Amino acid sequence: MPDIDPTSPPLTGYRVLDLGGPLGFHCTKLLADMGADVVKIERPGGDEARRIPPFKDDLPHPETSLYFLHFHTNKRGVTLDIESPEGRAIFLELACNADVVLETFQPGRLDELGIGYENLRRQHPGLVYASITPFGQSGPWRDYKANDMAGLALGNLLYLAGEPGEPPLQPPGEIAYGMASTYGAFGIAVALYHRLESGQGQFIDVSMHECAAHIAGYFIPNYGYTGAKPARASRKGEETDLYDPYPTKNGYARIFIIPVEQWRRLVEWMGRPPSISGAEFEKMAYRRKHPDIVVGAIAEFCRRHTKEELYEEGQKRRIAVTPINTAGEFITSEQVKARGTFVEMEHPVIGHYAHFGPVPRFSESPGRITRTAPLVGQHNSEIYCGELGMSKEDLVALRASGVI
């Protein structure tokens, strides 16, 4: 039930049952960081994601996956075989006390097991039930398999990434999963808002394939309008664009100019090189037509500075300069330190780690990181005995028969 303390995170008191795989990890992480009590249901022995690298010290073990750690910090965990009859009964009981169920199974799979939305809503009409799947619950591809890269491929993100002639290149960070998860969390929030008034739950169908299309900028509206069909951009000759990073004394920096004032400030900062100081260069279209001159002059300037110097001085002069940072440079940057983006955490097996904190930030009821990722079955007794009233002996029997 919703908490009335105005400083508690907004989802305090909401219970989420998490049957999600990687497609839904970021979704329930968003809910957990905003205060929801997320209970992850893992198959006996542990979730498959515990096998995903990287691992602490590169040694694979169910408790050392840093991938699992990132997405499950702040969640509780129980083991349960939902394919067994006892497991299904236990799941139904848990669902009665939940506000939200999130799952990423193939469409129809949980219905076959008797724990799909139609089964659950009969006993719990207020339940919000979200399914995030590769292609959604309908259409000719609904039963097809797709991972993050497949989502990006069909969404026209992969085609544009990489060098011409080379294979398209996947981004880091599972962006298609991330977008599907984010839309899922938004849908859940809307459904919970609606439920406040109506008391009614509902089913939310999220298609990664459609979510991925929303990431790719403006290619869809532009193609429909002008027929423009971009390909992977070449760095040589005509197509070279002004946004490519420039080599500096110690790595790369990028200078991204849109408004003319920024261009003027840049030229001023560079000491007005004659080759680009003409008034004609104030038009972006003209600059685009003469990339060799523009890029040549800026590159010459950037080579004489470090990326940090360019970043600090450029931003001071109100020019959109950014350094190309590594992950470590980002973590240790002044901005990240000042904002406390990372939270110091301790895990019984992995040890000390810096965890990515809750985003975005609420002024009155900020999100919180309250616990590290669960060990396999860590909260079995807390939930099965503490909440469902089972005895310790029941736990032993369920363990022996492989249900938990």
Partner 1 sequence: MSKLPLEGIRVVELTTGAAGPTVARVLCEFGAEVIRCETRLRGDGHRGEDPALWNKKPDFMKLQRGKKSFTVNMQTPKGRELVKELVKKSDVVVENFGLGILEKWGLDYPQLKEINPGCILIRVKGMGCTGPHAADLTYGPNVGNTMGTTYLWNYAGATTATAEPRTQHPDFMGGVTGAFAVVLALIQRRETKRGQWIDSAQVEIGASLLGPKYLEYSVNKREPRPEGNRSLIAAPYGPYRCAGEDRWCVIAIYDQDEWKRFAALVEQSGVKRDEKFATHLGRVRHREELDVWVTTWTRARDPYDVMETLQGIGVCAAVVQDVEDQFERDRQYAATGFLVKLNEPEAGEVVTEGVPIRLSVTPGKVRGVAPLMGEHTREIARDLLGLSDREIATLEEEKVLY
253 secondary structure, DSSP code: E
Residue closer to partner 1, measured from CB, 224 or 274 = 224
* 398 lies in the site for partner 1, by CB under 8 A: no
Determine which residue in the list 16, 101, 120, 211 makes contact with partner 1, applying CB under 8 A.
211
> How far is Cα 57 from Cα 349, in angstroms, rounded to an integer?
12
* 100 lies in the site for partner 1, by CB under 8 A: no
Query: Among residues 152, 187, 159, which one has the least CA distance to residue 173?
Result: 152
Q: What is the CA radius of gyration of the chain?
A: 25
Given a contact cutoff of 8 angstroms between Cβ atoms, the answer to whether 378 and 61 are in contact is no
| SS3 at position 343 | strand
Determine which residue in the list 122, 199, 231, 272 makes contact with partner 1, applying CB under 8 A.
231
Among the residue ranges 39-47, 108-116, 270-278, 322-330, the one whose residues contact partner 1 (CB under 8 A): 322-330
Residue closer to partner 1, measured from CB, 40 or 380 = 40
* 24 lies in the site for partner 1, by CB under 8 A: no
Indicate the angle between helix axes 260-269 and 307-316, nearest 10 degrees.
Answer: 120
* 303 lies in the site for partner 1, by CB under 8 A: no
> How far is Cα 353 from Cα 361, in angstroms, rounded to an integer?
21
Residue closer to partner 1, measured from CB, 73 or 380 = 73
* 159 lies in the site for partner 1, by CB under 8 A: yes
Residue 42 CB, nearest distance to partner 1 (Å)?
18
* 269 lies in the site for partner 1, by CB under 8 A: no
What number of CA atoms fall less than 13 Å from residue 45's CA on the CB side? 5
Given a contact cutoff of 8 angstroms between Cβ atoms, the answer to whether 354 and 345 are in contact is yes
* 11 lies in the site for partner 1, by CB under 8 A: yes
* 185 lies in the site for partner 1, by CB under 8 A: yes
* 186 lies in the site for partner 1, by CB under 8 A: yes
Which positions from 26 through 65 interact with partner 1, judged by CB under 8 A? Answer: 26, 29-30, 34, 51-54, 56-58
Residue closer to partner 1, measured from CB, 165 or 274 = 165
Among the residue ranges 79-87, 107-115, 298-306, 344-352, the one whose residues contact partner 1 (CB under 8 A): 344-352
Residue 380 CB, nearest distance to partner 1 (Å)?
26
* 206 lies in the site for partner 1, by CB under 8 A: yes
Residue partners of 55: CB distance under 8 A and separation at least 6:
61, 64, 65, 66
> How far is Cα 57 from Cα 71, in angstroms, rounded to an integer?
19
* 270 lies in the site for partner 1, by CB under 8 A: no
What number of CA atoms fall less than 13 Å from residue 368's CA on the CB side? 13
Kindly write down the DSSP assignment for every residue of 179-204, as one continuous string.
HHHHHHHHHHHHHHHHHHHH---EEE
* 161 lies in the site for partner 1, by CB under 8 A: yes
* Phi, psi angle pair for 244, to nearest 5°: -60, 145
Residue 273 CB, nearest distance to partner 1 (Å)?
22
* 389 lies in the site for partner 1, by CB under 8 A: no
Q: By CB under 8 A, how many residues form the interface with partner 1?
A: 152
